[in-house]
Amino acid sequence: MNNNKFNTLNDREWLRLTGIKKSTFNKMLDILKVAEIEKFKKGGKTNKLSLENRLWWWLYYIDENIRLIFILVKVLILVRLIVIVILSELKIF
């Protein structure tokens, strides 16, 4: 994520891109910065991606998976209704 391009976005564009408000993103980033400092006090290898990039990719991943979950739930509801109709036609249910 090129920070220069993202810093120039207004609030509406930011919300459309990330799915959350810019202020919420910054609050999440502040919390993660504190947690990362605590994590690396014990030592360890630093990440190649910046914290902003990792947070953005996590939000993108969650957004895509939530859409997939909603689709799967709709399919399962449809299958359940079809099974109920078939069983009622066969007088088993």
Q: Could you read off the pLDDT tens digit of each residue along the chain, which spans 93 residues?
A: 556 676 788 888 888 887 888 889 899 999 999 999 888 888 888 888 889 889 988 888 888 888 888 999 999 999 999 998 998 888 765
Distance, in Å, from the CA atom of 21 to the CA atom of 27, rounded to the nearest integer, reads: 10
Distance, in Å, from the CA atom of 39 to the CA atom of 33, rounded to the nearest integer, reads: 10
Amino acid 59: pLDDT: 87
CA atoms within 13 Å, Cβ hemisphere of 10: 1
Amino acid 75: pLDDT: 94
pTM for the full model? 0.63
Phi/psi at 69 (nearest 5 deg)?
-65, -45
Distance, in Å, from the CA atom of 90 to the CA atom of 60, rounded to the nearest integer, reads: 46
Amino acid 13: pLDDT: 85
Amino acid 1: pLDDT: 52
Query: Nearest to residue 27, comparing CAs of 67, 64, 55, 50?
Result: 55
Distance, in Å, from the CA atom of 19 to the CA atom of 14, rounded to the nearest integer, reads: 8
